[in-house]
Amino acid sequence: MTAAILHEIQATPVAELAQQPGEALHRLQLDAGDLLAAVKAVVEHIDRAVDLKYADRARQLRLAAGKDTGVVHFDDGTVRVTADLPKKVDWDQNQLADIARRIAASGDDPTQYLEISYRVSETKFHAWPESLKSAFVPARTVKTGKPAFRLALLKENASC
């Protein structure tokens, strides 16, 4: 798929594309998927090169600033490099639940210290008896995600 073909496809109204035969849409999906995978691989390759080039310098600047994570800026010739190493913190849910219980047992309000959320497994919810489900239904909202369609040829076609 060339840049001209990509531009032509994007310029084609969706309603017009929808009028194409299933085989044509299938081929477009396959070609676009292959192109996307190739572009992602190139981006990842370039990202690895950028990381190799700048990671040590960014680490040294963070170390000099007394921090393990965060943003540092530096120049490479006429290029301003902004290196961000985000902090990702995970909390052990079981330990937090124990802490919340201890806070509550001491007479304090755990929500002053913790953000507490509740979830119900859909699998478990559907396995419950109706008498239990009915208590939870008012708290349950079902939303849908983006619809997805996968096109597959019923039989191999040499032209695809």
Tell me which residue range forms the domain holding 102.
93-139
Q: Is residue 155 part of a domain?
A: no
pTM of the prediction?
Answer: 0.68
For residues 59 and 116, state if they share a domain.
no
Q: Is residue 33 part of a domain?
A: yes
The HSE-up count of residue 95 (CA atoms within 13 Å, CB side) is 3
For residues 78 and 17, state if they share a domain.
yes
Task: Give the pLDDT confidence score for residue 154 in this predicted structure.
Answer: 86
For residues 120 and 62, state if they share a domain.
no
For residues 116 and 77, state if they share a domain.
no
Please check the confidence at residue 156 and state whether its pLDDT lies above 80. no
Task: Give the pLDDT confidence score for residue 157 in this predicted structure.
Answer: 57
Task: Give the pLDDT confidence score for residue 68 in this predicted structure.
Answer: 93
Total number of domains in the chain: 2
Please check the confidence at residue 48 and state whether its pLDDT lies above 60. yes
Q: Is residue 117 part of a domain?
A: yes
Report which of 91, 71, 95, 92 is spatially closest to residue 83, judged by C-alpha positions: 71
Please check the confidence at residue 147 and state whether its pLDDT lies above 90. no
For residues 80 and 18, state if they share a domain.
yes
Mean pLDDT of 69-86: 95
The HSE-up count of residue 44 (CA atoms within 13 Å, CB side) is 6
